[in-house]
Structures are given as structure tokens and as C-alpha cells.
Amino acid sequence: MTLYGLCANASYPESRLSVAAAQRYGARWMRTIVYGSNDSRAAVIANARALQAAGVDTLVVVTTETTGRVVDDLDGWASWIDEFLNEAQGAVTAIEPGNELDTPGWTTSTGEFISDDLIIAIGRRAAEVCRRHGVLCTSPSLLTGPEEGRFEAVAKGLAGYVDAMAVHPYYCSVGGVPNRPETRSQYPPELRQDRWRFGKIEEKAAVCERLGHGLPTWFTEAGCPVGFDGITPQEQALWSYALRRFQHPSIEVVLQFCLTDAMVPQGELDEQKFWGITDDRGEKVSALMLAGYTTPSEPPAPKEDDPMAKQYTVGTGVLEAMRAHGDEPGSDECYYPVGAKESQWSETMGKSGTIYRYLFATNQTHRFPPDQ
């Protein structure tokens, strides 16, 4: 079974995955970086422990920014992970030792290419430490496509050592969304359906199964940014919906990048890559969709305990209360979000006999509930 999770940054309150948010979005895993400071380690462990009590596991990615040491310092990787897991005392479920170490142009401390052998050595040392602590260990994560060769070589070297391969299938469609013909002219016509820049996650999963040397794979970062390539909030929402429901026998975990735009590097924001399902205004359509409150294509009927919307019928006395908020519903039956201050009912939302869901304000966001 493939489990869904979210990438967060537990070191900071604004990017931390709360128990309420994990339950709201259906996340069974959180992935977070941890830094070398005492405050960061304490915050990550406390967040992981709280999530663990609610049935949510934590994957911690350890990078050179974490350890403060160079990428080819194998003893440095091992000792830092050992010290951190001693401190965590079982709160952390898995370690990812190294982030996208196959990135083109990245080098060792001596300026050499980061080879497959070095990636394998880092994974093996980390796995030895994790095994002593009863913690799972993935490979260092890979950014290049699993069909490009490095995945297979690393998997061969780590089979029998790590618990899973870690892959980042960025710019890939899920369930046919997004579909950008202009970005895939390199494909022959028969392969241009339902793809984004680098194909489909479904295809990547099949490659990982075929070339993984018996290891399962975790997609520890996968994302779809609003803005980039003209991707709309609705497309990101459909992509998120499909990723949460994605299932493949060889893919154990999929982690969406990311919980909030607050953790997106400024350089990527400058490129209009708004990866988060939330921002400083609150929830985007993606978050609402994951929470089950709306879909861009066809809004589902709300649950009886839905806190974001209540059903009102014109003539029951609620109409006056709605108008007091500045609303003018245009149908006999409609849904009104409690506490909204900027709702604008229109003809498209007010056709008699049809139930519509209102999204907070024109920017398609909704404020978090107070407990988040």
C-alpha cells in the first residue's frame, strides 16, 4: 500500500506539520530537514513525537547543512545520525541520508564528481547506524530520472543495506494532470498524452520497480507548483488529489512538496514555483481538496460535521444573518462558509437547485482553523 505524506520544516512554527493538519490532509508521513542546532533538533523531535502519537511517521532528511561537514566525510554522516537518533529516542521512524546528491554539477570537497560509489557508501554507513537504532533508512535521494542509469547503479549497491530507494520525480504528471504539450516536444507523438515535462509518476513507478534490484521506492519529494508553466491552482489541486490516492505495489510512500510556500527557496519563488498547498493567507484549493471540502471539477456534498460550510435555506431566518455579512445568495439552496468576510455570490454560484461551495475570497484560499 502506498502511503501519502507532506514535506514540512519542523524547525519553524510557520512550516511545521501539526497533528490537526496531518489529519485534515490525510498525511501518514511527514518529511522534514533537521539542522545542527540544539533548537532545531529539539523542535523536530518534539514534532515527530506528537505526530507519532497520532499515527503519523516522520522521515528526517540529513544533509551537509545538517551535519556541518562535507559530503565525503563518511564518519561525519555516521556520527551525526547516531547522536541525533540517540536524542530522538524512537520518535523518528526513518532517515534519508543526503538530499539529491546526484544533482548535476555537485562535487565532493576535493572538487570531484559525486560518484555512484560515494552515494552508495553514504547510504551503507547511514543504514548501519539506523539499524542499530531500529530506524528505517532510505538511500540518499536522487533527482535524476530512475531511467537515466544512476538509480539502477545505486540500487544495486544498496540492495540488502537500505530499506528503500528515495527518488524525487519532479515535473511529472499524476493522473494526467498537469498536461503541457508545449514542454514535451522531445517525445514522439504516441508518448505525448497526459504528460508534464518529464513524463508521468505512474511511469516512474514502473521503472523503479523494474530497476530497483528488489528494493521498494519512496518518492520523498514530488510536487506541482502553481504559476510555473502556467499551472493553475485548480491543476495543482487535481494533481494533489491524484497523488494522495496514488497506489503502486513498489512505491511505499509518496511525500508532496510541500506544506507551505514559507519553506520554498526564494529563488524558486522568483521563478513562480509556488509549491505549497498553503501560503501566508491560508489554504489554497489544493489543501481544501485534500481535506475533502472541494474539488475544482465537481464539489462534493459536505459532511454533517463540516466546520467550513453550513447549509441554509432561504426563508428560514438565516437569510437576514447572511445579508448582515454583506452576502446576497441567489438560490433557494446554497452553502455559506462560517466567518467569511469577503464572500461574493454570483450568478454562477446561485443557480436554483444546485449546491455550490464558496472558496474564501478571490484568491482561492481559506484561513486555517484556530487549532492549526
What is the residue-wise DSSP string for 273-286?
Answer: EE--SEETTEE-HH
- Contact by Cβ (8 Å): 193, 187: no
Q: Return the axis-axis angle of helices 74-88 and 38-53, rounded to nearest 10°.
A: 50
Burial class (CB in 10 A: 0-12, 13-18, 19+), 315: exposed
Check whether residue 161 and residue 264 sit in a common domain: yes
Position 168 in a domain: yes
Coil, strand, or helix at residue 187?
coil
Tell me whether residue 103 is in a domain.
yes
Q: Is residue 50 one of the residues assigned to a domain?
A: yes
Q: Which domain holds residue 167?
A: 3-290
Is there a single domain that holds both residue 106 and residue 249? yes
Cell, residue 115:
560518484
Does one domain contain both 322 and 282? no
Q: What pLDDT score was predicted for residue 346?
A: 32
Answer yes or no: do 173 and 318 share one domain.
no
Each residue of 86-121: pLDDT tens digit?
999 999 999 999 999 999 999 999 999 999 999 999
φ, ψ of residue 126 to 5 degrees: the values are: -65, -40
Predicted pLDDT at 179: 86
- Residues 214-250 as b or e (16 or more Cβ within 10 Å = b): ebbbbbbbbbbbbebbebebbbbbbbbbbbbebebeb
Q: What pLDDT, on the 0 to 100 scale, is given for residue 324? A: 53
- The ranges of the chain with pLDDT < 50 are 298-322, 325, 328-372
CA angle 302, 303, 305 (to 5 degrees): 125
Supply the CATH number for residue 159's domain: 3.20.20.80
Quick one: pLDDT at residue 194? 73
- Examine the domain organization and report whether 208 and 271 are in the same domain: yes
Against a cut of 0.75, is the pTM above it? yes
Q: Is 189 exposed, middle or buried (0-12, 13-18, 19+ CB in 10 A)?
A: exposed
Query: Both 321 and 273 in a single domain?
Result: no
Question: What nine digits make up the cell of 362?
Answer: 478571490
Contacts of 22 (CB under 8 A, 6+ apart): 6, 28, 30, 51, 54, 56
Whether residue 257 is found in the same domain as residue 109: yes
Same domain as 145, residue 201 = yes
Contact by Cβ (8 Å): 47, 93: no
- For the chain, the straight-line distance linking the first and the last C-alpha, in angstroms and rounded, comes to 29
What is the reported pLDDT for 357?
30
- CB 7, CB 259: distance < 8 Å: yes
182 and 326 in a single domain? The answer is: no
Task: Indicate if 265 and 326 belong to the same structural domain.
Answer: no
Identify whether 364 is part of a domain. no
Residues 222 and 341 in one domain: no
Q: What local confidence, expressed as pLDDT, does residue 192 receive?
A: 58
Count of domains in the chain? 2
